[in-house]
Amino acid sequence: MAETKSASSQSSSARAQTETAMEDLAAQVAALREDLAKLSQSVAAVGQGAKSVVAEEAQEITEQLRERVREEPIFMVAAAAGIGYLIGLLSRR
């Protein structure tokens, strides 16, 4: 009978340890979810910043190209024809 009480108390102890471990694990999972949410917000903010920088740079390059076309239209037409000719040669292969 003493053995039954001992086994029962060990079983109760094991259940208590298991429940404690499960609660700790649940808390860790919740903390990880919060960290992932914060990380995703940070990554989104960085992405928006990079997007705006790239958009500004593209706008600046476009303006420079337009300015150059206005200054030297014949050269730009010749350059466009040359590029078209090269693309045509490459597409035949």
Residue listed under structure tokens 């476009």: 62
- pLDDT score of 11: 80
Residue 6 belongs to a domain: yes
Task: Identify whether the C-beta of residue 64 lies closer than 8 Å to the C-beta of residue 56.
Answer: no
CA distance 93 to 17: 72
Residue 34 belongs to a domain: yes
Residue 45 belongs to a domain: yes
Among candidates 87, 51, 57, which has minimal Cα distance to 65?
57
Give residue-wise pLDDT tens across range 33-69. 999 999 999 999 999 999 999 999 999 999 998 998 8
- The model's pTM is 0.48
Residue 78 belongs to a domain: no
Give residue-wise pLDDT tens across range 71-93. 999 998 999 999 999 999 999 87
Give the chain's domain count: 1
Residue 58 belongs to a domain: yes
Give residue-wise pLDDT tens across range 7-21. 677 788 888 899 998
- pLDDT score of 5: 60
Domain that includes residue 7, residue range? 2-66
How confident is residue 24, by pLDDT bands cut at 50, 70 and 90?
A: very high
18 membership: H or E segment, kind and range: helix 2-71
Residue 59 belongs to a domain: yes
